[in-house]
Amino acid sequence: MAPDLLQTLIRRVDYVHARRGGLALAVVGEPGIGKSHLGQRLLAGVGGLKLTLHTRDFETGFGPLLSYPTAPTWARQTLERALAGQSPDAVVLASAVSALLGHAAPALVWAEDFHEVASSERAAEFWTALARHLTHTHGVALLISSRTPLPEPFAEQRLIPLDGLTGRELLEAQAGAPLPPAALDWIESRGRGNPLFLLEFFRHLNRSGALYLDAADGRWRWHEPPVSTLPLSVEALIADHLSRLTVGSGAETLLGLWALWDTALPGEALEAETAAALSGLDLAQVSALKTLAHISGVRAAQTFAHPLFREVALRELPASLRRELARRCAEILEAAPERAAQFLIWAQWPAAKTATLLKRALKIARERGDETRVAEYYDALVEVVPAEQRAEAAMKAALALHPLHAERSLARASQARQLDPMNAGALGLCAHLLSTSGRGQEAEWLLEAAPDEIKAQPDYWATLLETRVNASDYSGAMRVWQEHGSELEGRPQLQTAVALARVHLGEFESAVAGIRAALDHPLDAAERVALLHALVRAQVSQADPLVFVSIAQALEITARSGLTAARIELLLEQTQMLTWALQLPGADAGAAEAVQLAETRGDPRLIARTQINRAECLVFLAKFGEAEDLLMAVLNLLGGDPASRHAALTQLSLTHLYLEWARPADALIAVRHARKAVRLGYEVHDMVLLAWLLSVAAWAEAAHGDLGRAEQLIAEGGALIEQSGQHATRPSYTFAQGFVLERQGHTEAAAQMFDNAYEQARALQNINFAERFGLEADRLRADRTSAEGRLAFFQQHELHSYARTALSYFPPDESEATPAPSFTESLRLEVLGEVRVTQGEQPLPLRSPGGLRVLVRLLEARLAGRSGVAQTELLEMLYPDDDPERSGARLRQQVRRLRAALGPQSVLRRETGLGAGGGYALGELGSDAEDFLNTRDTKLWRGAYLADFEGELSSARDVLVYGLRSAGYAAEPHDPREAARLGRILLDTDPFDWAALALTLRNLRQSGEIMELLSLYAEVRQRCALLGEKLPDTWEDFLRDQEMSVF
């Protein structure tokens, strides 16, 4: 998949999201060509509501649209009927979904595998009807992947195989290192640009030993496999060899039977006699076809030689034959119900017969203690039991799925509650699952709407109390306890919840007393672990050294009793404790285990929590790139989640990451994430979390943002400390105050404040933070001796990010070291406007757009903290459609011209650290972009970023524009003319940036430039009218609309 295709699609979707039309696009290509990968990257690259579903789930996959309460009533009711299984008319359902999507716009729907439902008249009718509606619905894009073309009104985007260079990059990214040219040639000649086939051949050769990683030197080694093991290309094997096999009589039936059996019962051989009985062939025919399959390379031993062969064989099997073969398999295995049950998905037996078999399989799995199979059978039973038993079956499925898959459990519990509104157990389970997944407000609404008969039961108040604790509403939980505590005595789980609430409200002594009293009573393993975890929370808050004893006891019980969910929670807690105890490798190991365990649970929010935790460890270890990848993955995982603890923590961790990474652009990025964290923190009712959020945000604002905001956050944080008793955050606020004083010019007072933060953190035994705080005092006083002592401490305890900061402040052997390159003030690359190189503030006659593009790419790499840009990456960015050899020569020529015009040190060659082919770095040139990020001087902006490189993709534009926008808002109160100028530059960057237009209009009005205001608004209205976008008739109405939309 070419990067320019992805960017084209992103631009098309962004255009639609700007409410300038609708889009119905079919993404068509062969198996493995990258349709799903393209969809994932497209979803990650655009904003707005994003829905992903399989095309066969058209009746159930649009449930999130019901979360818009102001949507049209008829549309909501139609979708609700579909979700309840009432199957409304497909065209009517499409009309309803279109209306709901239009209400939720901007929105992107990515639907997978239309070719799988093309034969279904109802599904095909729905999707084509939806496409017809959406082409006339502003703000909604529908993209559907398929192996076959779609009917009108879909437009088509066909994916083509990768070119040779991109295919090699894909393989080497998978390998993690350069591959031998002979191996690349061998794989490329067989993969033929299909990404899936290329990767499958790489894995096959690695498994067979033909391609292996030499542990001695970390390089890949290759020896060509024997001729007998060389298959044709994967594509040829699937398309050609399978077709050869199915020429003979009965071959299609036997191939389909093998595919069914291997899929349903992996690892279990299908004996020839059984195959003959099931396929209707005689034993001789089966043996002959088996021999042919082995000779042709389709089969190996008792299974398919490649998983793709099985997949294609199964999908190509006619539906009627697939159903008949599955029924025969299920019937012949009826004496073994669990094995027979694996074929039911294809057999399509009558409901009663299916239910009978599933119940037999369920009984055996339950006796064996196989919780996973038990949950699967309960889940399958829901769809086949009589209607009057469905509510009970859904509840049983929800309970069985609860410890294994939270999302599926919630779906079944919701179904049980809808079918039986008086089912208090289903209500309680829904509330529990919602609150523990960060959706506490939804859980609260659900409980508020419960029938009065349920509210009259003590169990209701127990559920409400636990829900509020899970949702971090600790004050609300304690109100329930105070009002209904007498009804709730004798419940260990509630004692745990009450203790946690008290810990978070700063009532540590009463929390510990209550926990220890509860621990003296007989408890099961889960109850004891929960209480010990609550005790750990209280001991952490009191800096009690016995906390390590408590958590060790709890972890031991989880290991012995198989309490995976509780173990994950404890590992998250332990990671924080070991970090404070300066045991970073142990903390990271525990965090990694938590991530792995969370992935087995299938709960995206739990995965998000563990990844945030792991990312914090990686920041301390200076593995910033890995940490950033994890946190960005969390943002994608959370998607459009409402404000939650997880979302706030992600923004907090990103703030910390960029503060410590400290590349030129990171200051603005840190401030942006800090403000998002604070905004989310106010919506999450957790006083302890808010205290941490505000402390890190205060650091970001004080060091790089708005001093007024910083002082406000520090004052608010101090009040929170007094209110909650969470004194562990006090040193962080003192640390932030030091930066405020430094930026106000009080250097010695700032150094003293950093010293105070150091002393406060040491008193709380937070030694790692203490030394980091003290390092800033060393910087201000230029105290190398003290800093070197701290550096030794950081290195000893593997606090590599802090060591990196210390070395940046005090480079080693300063007197002998080669000084860092200093850019001559007279030679600058200017990109904040039309791109140019200046010397002595005069533009140089450098007229080569290609040369300027090279400089821009190298500058953006330096802004990102990279040592340079790999030659292959430069070639892909600058000459994506050229032959690699010719484009390499063009790049070398551009570099020679630049060096001739600007000096030999203007562009530097890098042979190491940028891949096998080396690369280039920007040399002794300064830049206005770096100056702006360091000084926030808006006079450096002459126009839009890269103004004369229209359509140029940029990795730095977002952060620079964010800084420009912040500067515009900051200038508005005291310099409206400058704010208006900056607003015009923002409009030049994005002509449909309504916030920038509002900023410009307000400040033109404020500065009395009414004619310019009228001219600008008329120009923008005319431009929008040409694209079908209507703006209000007057600028006053536009500003009023903008103010209302913000409100």
Q: Which residue has the tokens 């650290």?
A: 913
What pLDDT is recorded for position 839? 85
Which of the listed CATH numbers 3.40.50.300, 3.30.1330.20, 3.40.630.30, 1.20.1090.10 matches domain 3-158?
3.40.50.300
Least confident of 240-254, 521-535, 872-886: 240-254
Q: Is 518 exposed, middle or buried (0-12, 13-18, 19+ CB in 10 A)?
A: buried
What pLDDT is recorded for position 882? 65
From CA 913, how far away is CA 869, in angstroms rounded?
10
Q: Does the pLDDT at position 992 exceed 50?
A: yes
Q: Does the pLDDT at position 270 exceed 80?
A: yes
From CA 294, how far away is CA 75, in angstroms rounded?
56
CATH 1.25.40.10 holds for 658-807: yes
Bridge partners (DSSP) listed for residue 837: 829
Instruction: Confirm whether 3-158 and 958-1046 share one CATH topology.
Output: no
Q: Which amino acid is at 283?
A: L
Mean local confidence (pLDDT), 22-50: 81
131 and 101 in contact (C-beta within 8 Å)?
no
pLDDT band per the 50, 70, 90 thresholds, residue 239 = very low
Q: Does the pLDDT at position 752 exceed 90?
A: yes
pLDDT digits (tens, 9 = 90+) for 770-794: 999 999 999 999 999 899 889 988 8
Q: Does the pLDDT at position 742 exceed 70?
A: yes
pLDDT digits (tens, 9 = 90+) for 648-688: 889 999 999 999 998 877 888 899 899 999 988 888 766 77
Cα distance from N-terminal residue to C-terminal residue, the chain: 42
% pLDDT > 70, the chain: 88
Mean local confidence (pLDDT), 295-321: 71
Q: Which CATH class is domain 574-641?
A: mainly alpha
Identify which has the larger pLDDT, 247 or 961: 961
Mean local confidence (pLDDT), 1031-1045: 82
Closest C-alpha to 976, from 997, 1004, 939: 1004
In whole angstroms, what separates CA 997 from the centre of its chain? 32
From CA 101, how far away is CA 242, in angstroms rounded?
43
pLDDT digits (tens, 9 = 90+) for 852-908: 888 988 888 888 777 788 887 787 777 766 666 677 778 888 888 888 888 888 888
**Are β-strands 23-28 and 140-146 bridged in parallel, bridged antiparallel, or unpaired?**
parallel
What pLDDT is recorded for position 3? 54
pLDDT band per the 50, 70, 90 thresholds, residue 1010 = confident
From CA 274, how far away is CA 617, in angstroms rounded?
55
In whole angstroms, what separates CA 968 from the centre of its chain? 31
Closest C-alpha to 257, from 271, 230, 283, 275: 275
Q: Where are the beta strands (DSSP E) in 415-546?
A: none
CATH T-level fold of 827-940: Arc Repressor Mutant, subunit A (1.10.10)
Least confident of 430-434, 473-477, 607-611, 843-847: 843-847
Mean local confidence (pLDDT), 920-929: 87
Q: Which CATH class is domain 958-1046?
A: mainly alpha
pLDDT band per the 50, 70, 90 thresholds, residue 1047 = very low
Domain boundaries, the chain: 3-158, 490-562, 574-641, 658-807, 827-940, 958-1046
From CA 58, how far away is CA 109, in angstroms rounded?
11
Q: Does the pLDDT at position 278 exceed 80?
A: yes
From CA 107, how far away is CA 51, in angstroms rounded?
8
What pLDDT is recorded for position 805? 92
H-helix or E-strand containing 672?
helix 666-683
pLDDT band per the 50, 70, 90 thresholds, residue 817 = very low
pLDDT digits (tens, 9 = 90+) for 694-727: 999 999 999 998 888 999 999 999 888 887 666 7
Q: Which amino acid is at 525?
A: A
Mean local confidence (pLDDT), 284-303: 74
User: Which token pair is 624?
Assistant: 């910033």
Highest mean pLDDT among 323-327, 478-482, 837-841, 1040-1044: 323-327
Sign of the CA dihedral 872, 875, 876, 880?
Answer: negative
What pLDDT is recorded for position 233? 37
Q: Does the pLDDT at position 449 exceed 80?
A: yes
With vertex at residue 703, the alpha carbon angle to CA 698 and CA 709, rounded to the nearest 5 degrees, is 40
Identify which has the larger pLDDT, 575 or 547: 575
Q: Is 51 helix (H, G, I), strand (E, B) or coil?
A: strand
From CA 513, how far away is CA 518, in angstroms rounded?
9
Query: Rg (Cα) of the chain, in Å, rounded?
Result: 32
Mean local confidence (pLDDT), 617-634: 86
pLDDT band per the 50, 70, 90 thresholds, residue 308 = low
Closest C-alpha to 593, from 630, 570, 568, 557: 568
781 and 751 in contact (C-beta within 8 Å)?
yes
Q: Does the pLDDT at position 494 exceed 80?
A: no
What pLDDT is recorded for position 398? 92
Half-sphere exposure of 340 (CA within 13 A, CB side): 23
Q: Does the pLDDT at position 296 exceed 80?
A: no
Mean local confidence (pLDDT), 492-510: 75
**Are β-strands 49-54 and 155-158 bridged in parallel, bridged antiparallel, or unpaired?**
unpaired
Closest C-alpha to 653, from 686, 702, 619, 701: 619
User: Which token pair is 965?
Assistant: 């926008």
pLDDT digits (tens, 9 = 90+) for 595-607: 888 877 767 778 8
For residue 185, give every residue at least 6 positions away whose Cβ sits within 8 Å of its Cβ, in sequence order, or none.
none
What pLDDT is recorded for position 305? 61
pLDDT band per the 50, 70, 90 thresholds, residue 1031 = confident
From CA 951, how far away is CA 944, in angstroms rounded?
12
From CA 312, how far away is CA 666, in angstroms rounded?
48
Q: Mean pLDDT score of the chain, rounded to an integer?
A: 82
What pLDDT is recorded for position 307? 60
Q: Does the pLDDT at position 1006 exceed 80?
A: yes
